[in-house]
Chain A
């Protein structure tokens, strides 16, 4: 329940902030260019708070926290008094209208830059870039990566933490490129390794790219296979496993870490397993049949146990902090990379190369909002930055009714020297609404799928 409240609250706050930023962009530039703004509202619907400034602009907070709008003086939307005509939006030259429209998405990007820079300046914690495990038969294994490799840099970009390579690998994998690592192997040799990302199947390019698609798993302290929680009604509980049991072997295969347990149980959905456990010093054998569960489109086994996480040793944690200029540079770079990545992913989805399952909707976003807000201010800020970039990119798509659609009309106007006809606008609007509904339905549909599995 608390989770749910966090999600809703996080979602409303996040959307409120980002929409306000976006609309403020339109608002601020419009005012600077001398256009008369009638209303600036965050949230739709009935105003729960409103205030009229001395120059007649109404500032409001709407009851429905799912968007917002800026209403400018415009002859297409109502009568305009003679003396106000020069300040009406539709009477402005093309460049002014374009700037006003462009300002919304741009402010979303500015926000992301500011958020990332702030996080970089405040310090980021991460794990040392050491390979913990290389997945069998993976792209990384084929290219020679081994557990214990210390990754110094990728394509000349110094790696301070394991996490730093993620975004870069993502964009290179989408571009089907090969990247070059400087590596110190576990026996101390300093060598260069090429990782051919073109071998990563397109279908594996998703949030789990590095571990799942490439096969590189970062070093993490080994977790002893001691059961911490047994979920009621699941196979483990029904066959009598208890909290504190140390699993020593599964079907005769010796088990050293929790990872072994996960691997063996996952591989046996519906197939009975003999678990040897040590309970308060006495060993005994328990037969458990894992339930079948779906992981993507793979069937995996689960028995309903969990483990207590272990602390990461101090010397494996890196805390990096940048100066203001470097932070700003990195913040801008990250925002740029995220934007390009978002666009590339969208393009690959349109050409059906990447699964449209990667589209998330409001439910997933709300879940992330809740989770990141619970973790702390920094993670919530990072979350806001990501959503802000998405909003900016999405709004720039040339879909009528979005900012990008207006810009599309304006560019046609720039060529033909006259505004797009009303008929085209109406058709465009229909098409735009259909596309948006399609996108929304798909997103919510994916969300539900995630929720159910």
Chain B
């Protein structure tokens, strides 16, 4: 299992880096579209869409909506504030219901609501990644930093959870997660954030503190993204969202935490004026 996981990673990481550094704007958009199609397909499975025709319509509609939003210039601060507010509600509901052992349905939608949740989770994510890439297609610093934060949070959570993990974070949704792991994740992300804040962006002390606070928020949201998808997986009775990436599950399993973490991250980027170009439809 671990071997398989590493092998897949050995293929995934170069593909990812190639997408980041070698692709131009259009190629990256196509790459994102592929990811969107794959993950919408997985979401359709999780939310119980069985008919192929409906599934096809669901995925097509998702891609079309994303394209319309992109080209109508709606991608900007306002959109991400809206998405952020929606995630904030998810976070609060997770806090409210995640610790109860009974049915966690209250946190996830049914039927059409579950389908809409898929759009809510995935569309802003690809649009946001596009914003970050468009800022500087040659050296996508903002994208790299984002993924470093997410990965260091994952790693920190994994290590801390394995070493000290005792108190369950959300037993009703994801029994493997612990509060110790959450703290480890926050600390892991903070380490990257300190390095980036001082070495890359050379922030003043007060801005650095704000940036660290913001990254802590980004980290907490990433956990919420993970848990939110877990609810759907649990309801569908599956452990992974798909089998596309051997050892890693589906595409959705790889990007779930990024989906929730991206809106606050992008808002911070806007707020700190870190976008070098105004490509983001401001």
Contacts and interface: CB of A to CB of B under 8 A. Distances in A.
Nearest to B214: A448
Given A448-B210, A452-B207, A452-B210, A441 B85 contact: yes
A438 B82 CA distance: 6
A377 B88 CA distance: 38
Interface string B204-227: 000100100000000000000000
Looking at chain B's contact residues, the main secondary structure is helix
B81 A441 contact: yes
Interface stretch (B233-241, B245-253, B267-275): B267-275
Contacts of A442: 81
A433 B90 CA distance: 11
A356 B81 CA distance: 12
B271 A441 contact: no
B89 interface: yes
B81 A449 contact: no
Interface string A422-452: 0000000000011001101110010011011
B86 interface: yes
A441 B210 contact: no
A448 B82 CA distance: 17
Given A452-B207, A452-B271, A445 B81 contact: yes
Interface string B182-208: 000000000000000000000000010
A434 B210 CA distance: 25
Nearest to B78: A356
B84 interface: yes
A448 B81 contact: no
A350 interface: no
Contact of A434 (B78, B89, B267): B89
A437 B85 contact: yes
Given A445-B267, A452-B207, A438 B272 contact: no
A294 interface: yes
Interface residues of B, number: 15
A356 B77 CA distance: 11
B271 A445 contact: yes
A438 B86 CA distance: 8
Contacts of A451: 210
Interface in B55-78: 77-78
Nearest to B206: A451
A433 B89 contact: yes
Contact of B271 (A433, A438, A449): A449
Contacts of B88: 437, 441
Nearest to A430: B89
Interface string A397-438: 000000000000000000000000000000000000110011
A451 B267 CA distance: 15
Contacts of B267: 445
B282 to A, nearest CB: 9
Contacts of A448: 210, 271
Contacts of A438: 81-82, 85
Interface core residue of B85, B271, B272 (most chain A CB under 10 Å): B85
B207 A437 contact: no
24 contacts: A294-B273, A356-B78, A433-B89, A434-B85, A434-B89, A437-B89, A438-B81, A438-B82, A440-B85, A441-B81, A441-B88, A442-B81, A445-B77, A445-B81, A445-B267, A445-B271, A448-B210, A448-B271, A449-B271, A451-B210, A452-B207, A452-B210, A452-B271, A452-B273
- Cβ-closest 9 pairs across A and B: A437-B85, A438-B85, A441-B85, A437-B88, A441-B81, A448-B271, A441-B84, A442-B81, A449-B271
Interface of A: 294, 356, 433-434, 437-438, 440-442, 445, 448-449, 451-452
